[in-house]
Amino acid sequence: GNYLPPGMPPLPQTYPANPFEPFESRHHFELAGFLFKKVQMSKGEINKLMMYWAADTLKYNADSPFASTKALYKAIDGIPYGDAPWQSFSVTYNGPLPDNIENRLAWMQREHVVWFRNPAHVALNSLDDPAIDGEIDYAAYQSFDRNRGQTFSNFMSGNFAWRHWVSIFWCFAVGYY
């Protein structure tokens, strides 16, 4: 952030005219979340759904929310919040192959590209969002059920956050910083 002169209040938070940009509306935003995240619908099924939707809304001189899966993915990738860049790596199966070539599965013989965003970078972007201030746990914690099994409900209840929290606390406790 930027330092303000003493006594000067922070600038008011500005909000865009359409808070769901790059989506046309909240309904389109929620539909994208439902199709992509909740039910994880395949490309072919999304395209089929949008085709049926477009055919039904044609009588009202309207379109489906997304022309195709490509349009849906473009809208999702166009969300302006966060700057965690996409990264990728390739993996191939290097275990034993069946002797009989007909028993070899196609995935065993292909290279697969894995795309991801750095989870720590994504978490920092989330913590930077003023809209979630007061809505999340800022400290790592561990939660257990009645059977003493650990329960995980969000990022801060995970082992990654706990290990880092404890190691940072230890560094300050012993003066190692």
Q: What is the pLDDT of residues 58-89, one digit of tens each?
A: 889 988 999 999 999 999 988 876 678 888 99
CA 9 to chain CA mean position, Å:
33
Which of the four pLDDT bands, split at 50, 70 and 90, describes residue 176? low
Range 101-118 average pLDDT: 88
Handedness of CA 125, 127, 133, 136 (dihedral sign): positive
Which of the four pLDDT bands, split at 50, 70 and 90, describes residue 38? very high
Q: How many whole angstroms separate alpha carbon 85 and alpha carbon 173? A: 35
| Per-domain boundaries in the chain | 19-80
Q: Taking the C-alpha atoms of 30, 33, 34 and 40 in order, what is their torsion angle to the nearest 10 degrees?
A: 170
Average pLDDT for the chain: 84
- Higher per-residue pLDDT: 87 or 125: 87
